[in-house]
A and B are shown apart, each in its own frame.
Chain A
Amino acid sequence: MAEIIERLEMNHITKRFPGVLALDDVTMNLQKGEVLALLGENGAGKTTLMNILYGLYHQDEGNVLLNDKKIQVQGPLDALEYGIGMVHQHFMLVPNMTVLENIALGMYQRTRFKMDLEKVRQRVLEVADRYNLTVKPDAYIWQLSVGEQQRVELVKVLTLGANLLILDEPTAALTPQQTDALIDLLRQMITQDTSIIFISHKLNEVKAVSDRVAVLRNGGLVFEGPTEDHTAEDLAEKMAGREISYPKTSKKEEYGRPILQIEKVVAEGDQGTDSLQGVSVEVRSGEIVGIAGVSGNGQRELADVINGIRPVKEGRIQLDGVDISNRTPQQIIDLGMGYIPEDRMHEGTIPSFTVRENLIMKDYRREPLAKNFFLRKGQIDTHAASLIDAFKVKTPSMATSCASLSGGNIQKVILAREITRKPKALVAAYPIRGLDIGASEYVHSQLIQAREEGMAVLLISEELDELLDLCDRIAVMYEGRVLDVLPREECTKQELGLLMAGVSHGKE
């Protein structure tokens, strides 16, 4: 077991990539028993800095001191020797192995030929007990919820002997409740000779969990100090380097005609049970209606049935007066539906296709992009160039594959494609999930723009701030039902939170 990390210092770290100064003279330190939040927009250098600490990259200049001794970490295994462990944003677990087997997987490299699962079990239970992390050693990973899998990752790293944990956006896949639980857990863990570096751009979490905060911007350290002395807004500005104003909508006196009418829709989920049990929602022209709720309560199914990807079992969906229930996705698109799907890498775009190709996915057969079965390169290029420009997509060229863009830019590609088609209705599922502040702000401003242009927008989200900023009315979904559709003025966070947890509010 590695010695306890009393103090870690990173001094004057500079790292250059061809054409990019990724880190510029960054100095940072960490004491035993504290949570340091590392804040920054995507591309600010957070991950590069942590990869240096973890041995995946070597710094060009500067040094790392561990308990006042200079160290040069050679790689992940070496990092663990020093007691540094990392939990990645995307879990590194084998789904069809048990928890115990997954943890043992990280140990085999030291013992080579012999694996004593009982010994592993003992270690795991010891660690779980010490840090109060409950895990089921014999459960298969695929049986566990995302929150439980996260705990397994934590136990894994701790069992392997880490006492400094680097958590890379640990809450990206968690529900609000799971996030709260994680924060409690982390606060508890630091009382056990552990220290934590918490990478995130969600300010609420950073406020709740960290003792100190360091902000990176464009590779440089722009701020470092105690968390409690600064407000979330303050930190957001430091991160973005400018004033951040979350765009908000204001109440309208009049709305247009009903565009998207969902009437008592019943539909099956993937497990064969009814995931939608008679959902009714109406969205009018020029209105944003929010669907709040903890994900997994039927939101995915709702978005799917509206877009023709999942059959409607009972009930009816109308788009501007036309019945679209059980039509094909193509027909529904042709009738004027836009969709920003939840999974932007697999549903929203084709990662291996170029930006240009992704931008024509819904109109590739239509003039002027095509004529008589032939794609018109000139038109397609003009189309791509104008959208890239209008939506400020950051890409080396229109011939770059979408897979190499950042999440925010991929979302911009999808937004550009969907909004410029001028659909009558737009379904946006978790449109800012995983995006940084700047990108979220942009997505929101575009949704508001769509509202101004008279689109009927259905916004599915679990971020209450997002819903309260944008929506004219908010419906809460719980176990396949819509509990209440409330005008925004009548909603409070607490009330929505209760409804999301399935507690019907006291209407007397």
Chain B
Amino acid sequence: MEKNKADKYRYLTVNIIIVLASLLIALVLGAFLFLIAGANPFEAYGVMLTQPLDGLFGITEMLVRAAPLMLVGLGIAIAFRSGILNIGGEGQIMIGVIFATAVGLSLPEMPKIVLVPVIFLSAFIGGGVWAGIAGWMRAYLNVNEILSTVMLNYIAIQLYLYLLRGPLIDPKEVSYGTGVPQSALLPEAAWLTRFIRGFRLHSGLVIAIVLAVIVFLFLWKTTVGYRMRAVGAEPKAATYSGMNVKRNLVLAMVLSGGFAGMAGAVEVLGVHHRALESISAGYGFSGIVVALFGGLHPLGIIPASAVFGLLIVGSDMMQRAVEVPASIILAIQGLIILAIVSSNIFLRNPKLRDKIFRLLGGGKEAKIEPEGGRA
């Protein structure tokens, strides 16, 4: 047992080194883009990675971004662990926003202690049902869930835009004739508490962290979580030991979409207090990267979402500081995503990992499986 633990920590170190190295590669490649744009890459990166941490504003904004990323990432992790892919976070967030806004607006008299949980629950159900459609189609009609979740994104987004311009539009926008597509302001009882006056940091972050711990307990300490992981790891063996694979796929998708829906609720209740046209800022997709970056583990997703919050805020600041076109920021974000996703091949493949391990000087102790170990 002792030796096992030591191994575990050694491999954890290797994993972290691999991830950091892949980040570095992305940044080096990105440096060329800065050079082309005529900016000093060192200066740009300096701003991007340090300025958000240099003051309360940057730190709080980073955490404001981290909360929805964490929730989406948790949902993605549940789905991936259960053997089904959810690329539909974006659409599920939209549905969550619709449910949160509609419920919030229709219950103006409710006290906060009831209203906030009710809104979260309805956003969870909204996102869950939306994702559940894809889960059901995969389980019972054998429709590829990558296609169906992506297609459901389009439907959700158009539905959202329609509702914001029609039934959900702020009556004031209509009466003033400005017609900005946004909903009315939610009753104050629905707003999440802000911790520091003048900053947007709100209790959504705490909710997300608590949920991360709950997801961890759910997946590793409960019978349902065990079953979902079993179904995800080897559906055949799960079937042979009596588990209902199809039902578990649907359940996994519902939970996954539910978390994305709650991310939508967090944005409405914590940040904007209403539904806006571009409320999600791509969290549905970045959430996938956060989940992978966090090793599909709830407790890894907490720091991973902070890192991505930092990247989002940092690149905003860098854009202003070194005056490069916004599109370069997007390109660099893309590079980072590519690098991290590619680093997965090293994380997943024990042989490659061992090689790196040895390169890093783990030499003599490296684990080569002798025949006696495997055969």
Contact = CB atoms under 8 A, between A and B. Distances in A.
B361 interface: no
Contacts of B1: 397, 399
Interface string B234-250: 10111111111000000
Given A341-B240, A347-B240, A396-B4, A46 B227 contact: no
Contact of A329 (B229, B240, B367, B372): B240
A373 B243 CA distance: 15
B242 A43 contact: no
Interface string A339-383: 101010011111111000100111011000010011101000000
B240 A307 contact: yes
B375 A47 contact: yes
A377 B237 CA distance: 22
Given A350-B234, A373-B222, A399 B371 contact: no
A22 B374 contact: no
B221 A374 contact: yes
Contact of B374 (A329, A375, A404): A404
Nearest to A49: B371
A75 to B, nearest CB: 15
A404 B373 contact: yes
B177 interface: no
A428 B345 CA distance: 37
Nearest to B243: A330
Interface residues of B, number: 34
B236 A346 contact: yes
Nearest to A400: B4
A347 B227 CA distance: 15
B109 interface: no
A261 interface: no
B245 to A, nearest CB: 10
Given A352-B233, A357-B226, A17 B238 contact: no
A26 to B, nearest CB: 13
B242 A362 contact: yes
B363 to A, nearest CB: 11
Interface in A149-204: none
A42 B370 contact: no
B54 interface: no
A48 interface: yes
A328 B241 CA distance: 11
B230 interface: yes
Contact of B234 (A309, A332, A334, A346): A346
Residue with the greatest number of chain A CB neighbours at <10 A, chosen from B227, B244, B375: B375
A330 B222 contact: no
A333 interface: yes
Contact of A399 (B4, B227, B238): B4
A348 B237 contact: yes
Contacts of B368: 17-18
Residue with the greatest number of chain A CB neighbours at <10 A, chosen from B1, B223, B372: B372
Interface residues of A, number: 48
B227 A364 contact: yes
A351 B235 CA distance: 11
B369 A404 contact: yes
A43 B221 contact: no
B244 A330 contact: yes
B373 A329 contact: no
B4 A397 contact: yes
B132 to A, nearest CB: 21
A46 B188 CA distance: 74
Contacts, number: 107
Nearest to A406: B375
Contacts of A329: 239-242
B238 to A, nearest CB: 7
A45 interface: yes
A42 B221 CA distance: 36
A343 B240 CA distance: 11
A309 B237 CA distance: 11
A390 interface: no
Contacts of B366: 18
Given A346-B236, A370-B223, A22 B370 contact: yes
A247 to B, nearest CB: 24
A400 to B, nearest CB: 8
B242 A328 contact: yes
A353 B229 CA distance: 9
Contacts of B242: 328-330, 332-334, 362
A364 B237 CA distance: 14
Contact of A375 (B4, B226, B240, B373): B226
B224 interface: yes
Contacts of A332: 242
Contacts of B197: none
A48 B371 contact: yes
Contacts of B221: 374-375, 377
A244 B1 CA distance: 33
Interface in B353-371: 364-371
Interface string B204-241: 00000000000000000111101101100110111111
A347 B237 contact: yes
A256 to B, nearest CB: 26
Contacts of A364: 223, 226-227
Residue with the greatest number of chain A CB neighbours at <10 A, chosen from B222, B237, B238: B237
B357 to A, nearest CB: 13
Contacts of A365: 223
A489 B201 CA distance: 82
Nearest to B366: A18
Contacts of B374: 404, 406
B282 to A, nearest CB: 31
Contact of B241 (A44, A333, A370): A333
A147 B166 CA distance: 68
Nearest to B237: A350
B226 A350 contact: no
A370 to B, nearest CB: 5
Contacts of A375: 221-223, 226
Nearest to B226: A364
A5 to B, nearest CB: 25
B230 A47 contact: no
A218 B322 CA distance: 67
Contacts of B224: 373
Given A375-B223, A397-B4, A406-B375, A18 B364 contact: yes
A309 B239 contact: yes
Contacts of A374: 221-223
B231 to A, nearest CB: 9
Nearest to B240: A347
Given A397-B4, A404-B374, A353 B230 contact: yes
B161 to A, nearest CB: 41
A92 B222 CA distance: 41
Interface string B1-12: 101100000000
A422 B3 CA distance: 35
Contacts of B227: 364
B371 A47 contact: yes
A375 B244 CA distance: 19
Nearest to B218: A373
Given A18-B365, A350-B237, A352-B233, A43 B226 contact: no
B241 A361 contact: yes
Given A373-B224, A399-B4, A404-B373, 9 more contacts: A18-B364, A43-B375, A44-B371, A309-B240, A329-B241, A353-B229, A374-B223, A377-B221, A407-B375
8 contacts: A22-B372, A43-B371, A46-B371, A347-B236, A353-B229, A361-B238, A400-B4, A406-B375
A-B complex: 9 closest residue pairs judged by Cβ atoms: A330-B242, A17-B370, A350-B234, A361-B241, A43-B372, A42-B375, A329-B242, A333-B242, A47-B371
Interface of B: 1, 3-4, 221-224, 226-227, 229-230, 233-234, 236-244, 364-375
